[in-house]
Structure 1
Amino acid sequence: MRLRLRLFEFEDLPWFPAIIRAGMMDYLRFMISGLGTYRPIAPLLAEGLARTGQTRVLELGAGAGGGTETVLAALQAHGQPRATITLTDLYPQPAAWADIARRTHGAIGFEPAAVNALAVPAQLAGFRAIFSAFHHFPPEAATAMLRDAVQAGTGIGVFEGAGKHWVELLLAWTVLPVAQLLLTPFFRPFRLSRLVFTYLIPLIPLCTIWDGTVSVLRMYPVDELLKLAHAADPEGHFAWQAGKKRHWWGPEVTYLVGWPAADNL
């Protein structure tokens, strides 16, 4: 699918209730973690750390931290036993993140203050990564994010947990809403509000269906990712590559990775 529509997502709206956004993020975290969505890109991320001599992944737009624990385990299995991850977001979720930090004994930490992915504070070092969120940024902002990484001299990886196919829209309308209704009672940490706004006033599942649909429609295809990278780095300070990695059970992850070119290290 090459169609890219610039529609809105509820979670992007500043007035959107934080309690509904948190419920949506809890669902995404549960599903991404349970399905191991980002395991296929662990070798790319491990290579980025190795090429830049870093051990910390600085995750931008982390949401509720979905999939981060499986990414960390996969990194450790791919030659990065000392890897750590720091979660950041423009809308921090410290309650969800603290639970992850506790389970990982601090290997996954977080920045409690809001972090703008387009202008990351200099003190937040690490190989930058953004999972399931790059499509939220229009071309100008997406280019600015990549440019900020280039100017900081750190590597960056952009990863979307889909291959941009029509079947993914069908899943967002059918199978995934049913899974959300069945699995919500098992999400942790427990929130009474999550049950209220899932079953009594179903704002969380309805907004999730809309945002999931729009996410696929807003995704950048591989060739557009490379165009954004070259616009952000016209002088070629970084080496860039983009493509798709497939899970053994079918789904794809679309990616763009870049790190300082050999002559710029």
Structure 2
Amino acid sequence: MKRRHLFEFEDLTWFPDVFRRGTTDFLSFVFSKTNRYAPVVPLVAEALDGKDPVRIVDLCSGGGGGIANLQRDLSALLDRKVTVTLTDKYPNLEAFEKIKQSCEGIEYETGPVDATDVPEQLDGFRTIFTAFHHFKPDMAEAILRDAVEKKVPIGVFELGNKGSKAIAKLIVTVPVGLALVTPFLRPFRMSRILFTYLLPVIPLATIWDGVVSILRVYTPDQLREITERIESTDYEWKIGTAVHDEGVGKGEVIYLIGAPVE
């Protein structure tokens, strides 16, 4: 598989938490305000049709940005309550608690959750938003294989904007966005101000991670290549792209949805 897999600062265990949170809090804010994953809500609803109760187990949640939009839109479309459990290998408990307090039906795991071996008590429709590209092909396959072996549905969703135009746009918009919204991010921290305006570590790290993300997002063909290596007669995959058009959020969403065959 021809694919660039450069490092992202967010993935590095030694990367200071103050910088990691600065990046993830900004991205969480962006996704919560733009609702870029709205086009995949009908796809998730279709996969969940007939399931009761409806439970989402969100893997690699990061700052949890956008999950409240998903819960709201999915509940409205299905006309019943949808619960969400946020999880991560390095859980951002402060961000998770903030989301929990503002959204009824959203909970979180306080301990680390490995996406390649999700505990069986976390039963529900697994989702991964804007994080699947962090994993090399063998790890990505292991994540999908774990869902297949445990006979649970999974949905992988990534922004599909790629190429030099997307990179140029990101390089321009990220520092401007951070400069505008940083004072309004909560909880307020002087360290966030310091490392955004005076020593711009957070903008530089966010730009680097964003460019690398664009370069290593799996294409639909690459996702098919991974799923073809997972042998199963009672599990099916749906892979494609959905278009969103929300001004600054205009573009594509690449999706992969797998589910056991009834």
Structure 1 position 123, deviation (Å): 1.1
Structure 1 position 255, deviation (Å): 0.6
Q: 1:78 & 1:258 partners in 2: Cα distance?
A: 20
Partner amino acid, structure 2, of 1:240: W
Partner amino acid, structure 2, of 1:46: A
Corresponding residue number in structure 2 for 1:236: 233
Q: Does 1:162 align with 2:160?
A: yes
Which moved further from structure 2: 51-60 or 95-104? Answer: 51-60
Contact persistence 2:174–2:206 (CA under 8 A): no
Q: 1:135 & 1:36 partners in 2: Cα distance?
A: 20
Structure 1 position 84, deviation (Å): 1.1
Q: Does 1:260 align with 2:257?
A: no
Identity %: 44
Q: What TM-score comes out, normalization by structure 1 length?
A: 0.93
Partner amino acid, structure 2, of 1:42: V
Corresponding residue number in structure 1 for 2:218: 220
Contact persistence 1:49–1:56 (CA under 8 A): no
Contact persistence 1:51–1:259 (CA under 8 A): no
Corresponding residue number in structure 1 for 2:242: 245
Corresponding residue number in structure 2 for 1:17: 16
Q: 1:98 & 1:45 partners in 2: Cα distance?
A: 25
Contact persistence 2:223–2:239 (CA under 8 A): yes
Corresponding residue number in structure 1 for 2:204: 206
Contact persistence 1:54–1:127 (CA under 8 A): no
Give SS of 2:78's match: coil
Q: 2:233 & 2:163 partners in 1: Cα distance?
A: 31
Q: 1:71 & 1:132 partners in 2: Cα distance?
A: 14
Partner amino acid, structure 1, of 2:24: M
Q: 2:165 & 2:79 partners in 1: Cα distance?
A: 35
Q: What TM-score comes out, normalization by structure 2 length?
A: 0.94
Q: Please list every run of at least 4 consecutive aligned residues from structure 1 whose deviation after the TM superposition is greater than 3 angstroms.
A: 51-54
After superposition, give the CA deviation of every residue in 1:96-131 in whole Å (9 maximum; x if it has no partner): 1101000013x1111010100000011111100000
Structure 1 position 47, deviation (Å): 1.6
Structure 1 position 150, deviation (Å): 0.5
Structure 1 position 185, deviation (Å): 0.9
Contact persistence 2:154–2:258 (CA under 8 A): yes
Structure 1 position 82, deviation (Å): 1.1
Partner amino acid, structure 1, of 2:257: V
Contact persistence 1:130–1:157 (CA under 8 A): yes
What are the within-5 Å matches in structure 2 for residues 148-159 of structure 1? 148-159=146-157
Q: 1:165 & 1:159 partners in 2: Cα distance?
A: 18
Q: 1:117 & 1:176 partners in 2: Cα distance?
A: 28
User: Gaps (5+ residues) in structure 2?
Assistant: none
Structure 1 position 243, deviation (Å): 0.9
Which of residues 105, 108, 119 in structure 1 aligns to 2:106?
108
After superposition, give the CA deviation of every residue in 1:59-94 in whole Å (9 maximum; x if it has no partner): 000001011111111101211521111100001001
Report the aligned-residue RMSD.
1.6
